[in-house]
Amino acid sequence: MAAPSAFDRLSPALQYQIWSTLGFRDLRPVQLLTIDAVLDGDNCVVLAPTAGGKTEAAFFPVLSAIDTHDWRPVSVLYLSPIRALLNNQHERVARYAALIGRRVFKWHGDVSAAARAPFLRDPADILLTTPESLEAMMMSARVPAERLFAGLRAVIIDEIHAFADDDRGAHLSAVLERLSRLCRRDLQRIGLSATVGNPDEILRWIQGSSARSARIVAPPRGSSEVALTLDHVGTLANAAHIIQRLHPGKKRLVFVDSRRRVEELGKELLTRGVDAHVIHGSLAASARRDAERAFADGQDCVIVATSALELGIDVGDLDHVLQIDAPSTVASFLQRMGRTGRRPGAIANCTFLALDDRATVQAAALLDLYRRGFVEPVRPHRAASHILAHQIMALAIQHGGIPRSDWWAWLDGATAFTDLTAEDRAALLNHMLDAQILADQGGKLWLGPRGERLYGRRNFGELYAVFDTPRLITALWDTRELGTIDATFLQTLGEDRGPPTFTLAGRPWQVTGIEWTRGVCHVIPTESAGSARWSGSPRHLGYDLCQAIRRVLLRDDHDPAASTRARAALDRARQDHQFLRDAPEPPVLQKTPDGLTWWSFAGGRANILLAQLLEHELGGKVTARDLSLTCREEAGKSEPRLRQLLHDLQAHHRPTAQDARTHAPTAARTRLSKFEPCLPDPLLTNLLATRSLDPEAARSALSPAR
């Protein structure tokens, strides 16, 4: 007897609704394959392009299981990296759940306590939330977490690539283990992504301690037509002019990789009479929703956004994506281009508008990697000692004191801690106790006096997010919340003459008063204003992109996407880097007025480590950039001496991981985590080394076989 088809495995009620109510005549390959994986009980990572049907792929079999086995709420968690995606998915998931008489609820920081109360009394079947909100629920005395999640069976993690290789991913892997123990069940784990270069690694990361079978769901992808353009426009004003003139009557989404430039471009477009809206993480939730709604309902309009709209948020039928300059990864480029080409007959497209020659070269390098089929691998943390410290404190609050003999059992199996030994864990715990961050009260761990001072403010608000955020001031126009501004930026406004002004939501505002203790800035509309500024960590380019930049500079041909202006900019850049061609062999050293520059094309994290090594061996000062290192004073006096040192490092297969640990304390320019005070020196050094430096890329840069 033939095995049933994937669709036939769904519950009869859901089959009927998919066919009759939704009007589906067939399912996509990724959806059919995922039905089998989920109903077989496997953990899985589901890969499909943006708008490729991943949401339905995950929820159809999960809803079928709810219906067939009568799972009790809450039975399914859906986790998203951002609130906007939760808001966007809520209506769709609720519609699918309602087909079989089930309910959905979303829980995040913008959902009021009054709205949460009915859910706590009568939970929905599916809960949509973020990992941070989930942990806050587990820690809150007002949320009966053990009862609420007693029936939990499956966890769906959307845009899983956005989690896996940073602190939020390490945090999520720990929360999944705590949740499994809380439920006393091996939870099924389902990850969704459009762009992952190494899905096997993501699958190992999501698996954690789960004993379930695991598989990757990745149906073959047919070749699809794309429309790419690379143009050099010179200034943001020119970019605004081109955006205004390009694709009239169409919906255009413009990505800009800083909030400040989003505001500047939004203002430029509005002054030209363009129906433009801006979106970034510092806007108030109401302002973001208004922008999304206006864009979704409009026709001839532009939305200017940071990566906040890179993830799977649906902003309606989008015609064109434009990119100011270039993102730093192929994965980001693919996510952004994937916003387009969703309608039948439409073609995915992206237009790069580079403001200078450097950005033109970087965009061309991204296209080089894209055409080679390259996507950056995701590297999950496996020795996240700072997140382990955070989790000990979170467990202490969740349980009203966690037994010293039991805390590790809640986290054992989390991928983020697999490379931490028992000795590392003991050293961490002892340091936190000695530093009075933790206190041992009758064999139970609780926050100590210093822990209360560092992390107990605002009812433990510092523990609800694993990453640092600068102090933000809320901008109010009358009673309307516009968004937030860095406190440090507001302090500098009084240093200039004239009334303090800034641009927010694409519009100019004048400051009328600041209540520092309340964290509120009162504003009124004005005619013109300068740009606001927000704090942020520097973004280093990776080794593969820097090597692609080198290839672009050494080539004579041009990508077919390049315009006449872009080709001229690339030719200028190649002429400026003619010395790369003239160099007899690597390493390429260029004499400059103040020393020697080594063009390593190794990426920022690798070059920072190499700079530390060169300074240590040669003296003087070495400045690291993404593409090069400039040696000054003693380090730049002798080219033969520098060449010999680079040869010796290569011959001894350096720099090593130990070199990274040795130089990490002086190489790290900023604090990487607010939980650094929790770490003993060896663990802190290892954290700084793994997060700030890249010895593998540095060794590759020293190899003549590049």
Q: Looking at the structure, tell me whether residues 61 and 189 fall in a common domain.
A: yes
Confidence of residue 3 (pLDDT cuts 50, 70, 90): low
pLDDT value, residue 4: 64
Confidence of residue 471 (pLDDT cuts 50, 70, 90): low
In a domain, 149, yes or no: yes
Region 683-693: what's the mean pLDDT? 93
In a domain, 503, yes or no: yes
In a domain, 654, yes or no: yes
pLDDT over 60 at 313, yes or no:
no
pLDDT over 70 at 310, yes or no:
no
Q: Looking at the structure, tell me whether residues 451 and 514 fall in a common domain.
A: no
Strands 444-447 and 402-403: antiparallel
pLDDT value, residue 2: 43
Q: Looking at the structure, tell me whether residues 166 and 46 fall in a common domain.
A: yes
- Using only the alpha carbons of the chain, give its radius of gyration: 27
Count of domains forming the chain: 5
Q: Could you give the 3-state DSSP secondary structure of residue 340?
A: coil
pLDDT over 80 at 193, yes or no:
yes
**Domain boundary residue among 463, 491, 517?**
463
Q: How far apart are CA 543 and CA 546, in angstroms?
A: 5
Q: pLDDT tens digits, residue range 411-430? A: 999 999 999 999 999 999 99
Q: pLDDT tens digits, residue range 342-362? A: 666 678 899 999 999 999 999
In a domain, 286, yes or no: yes
pTM over 0.95: no
Region 320-333: what's the mean pLDDT? 92
Q: Which pair of tokens denotes residue 327? A: 């993102």
Region 683-694: what's the mean pLDDT? 93
DSSP category for residue 212 = S
Q: pLDDT tens digits, residue range 199-240? A: 899 999 999 999 999 999 988 776 678 899 999 999 999 999
Q: Looking at the structure, tell me whether residues 59 and 152 fall in a common domain.
A: yes
Distance (Å) of CA 57 to CA 77, 349, 586: 15, 25, 50
Cβ(428)–Cβ(359) below 8 Å: no
Confidence of residue 120 (pLDDT cuts 50, 70, 90): very high
Amino acid at 448: G
Confidence of residue 706 (pLDDT cuts 50, 70, 90): very low
Q: How far apart are CA 628 and CA 589, in angstroms?
A: 10
Give every strand in the sheet of 444-447, ordered side by side. 402-403, 444-447, 438-441
Q: Looking at the structure, tell me whether residues 428 and 518 fall in a common domain.
A: no
Strand positions, DSSP E, 426-543: 438-441, 444-447, 472-477, 480-486, 501-504, 507-515, 520-525
Helix axis angle for 385-398 and 681-692, nearest 10°, is: 120
Q: Looking at the structure, tell me whether residues 506 and 591 fall in a common domain.
A: no
> By C-alpha distance, which of 687, 665, 662 is closest to 675?
687
Q: Looking at the structure, tell me whether residues 230 and 213 fall in a common domain.
A: no
Length of the chain: 706
Distance (Å) of CA 637 to CA 598, 609, 650: 13, 20, 21
**Least confident segment among 36-50, 354-368, 597-611:** 36-50
Mean pLDDT of the chain, nearest integer: 88
Confidence of residue 1 (pLDDT cuts 50, 70, 90): very low
Other beta carbons less than 10 A from residue 62's beta carbon: 27
Region 271-289: what's the mean pLDDT? 82
Give the structural domain span for 301: 226-363
Cβ(45)–Cβ(191) below 8 Å: yes
Distance (Å) of CA 476 to CA 207, 270, 521: 45, 21, 6
Those residues whose C-beta lies under 8 Å from the C-beta of residue 575, and which sit 6 or more positions away, are none
Confidence of residue 160 (pLDDT cuts 50, 70, 90): confident
In a domain, 453, yes or no: yes
Exposed/middle/buried for 224, CB within 10 Å: 0-12, 13-18, 19+?
exposed
Q: Looking at the structure, tell me whether residues 207 and 244 fall in a common domain.
A: no
In a domain, 64, yes or no: yes
Per 3-state DSSP, what percentage of the chain is helix, strand, and coil (rounded to 5)? 45, 20, 35
pLDDT value, residue 537: 63
Q: Looking at the structure, tell me whether residues 318 and 407 fall in a common domain.
A: no
Q: Looking at the structure, tell me whether residues 504 and 604 fall in a common domain.
A: no
Say what percent of the chain tops pLDDT 70: 92
Q: Looking at the structure, tell me whether residues 231 and 261 fall in a common domain.
A: yes
Confidence of residue 467 (pLDDT cuts 50, 70, 90): low
In a domain, 213, yes or no: yes
Q: Looking at the structure, tell me whether residues 425 and 350 fall in a common domain.
A: no
Q: pLDDT tens digits, residue range 371-407? A: 999 999 888 899 999 999 999 999 999 999 999 999 9
CATH number at residue 392: 1.10.10
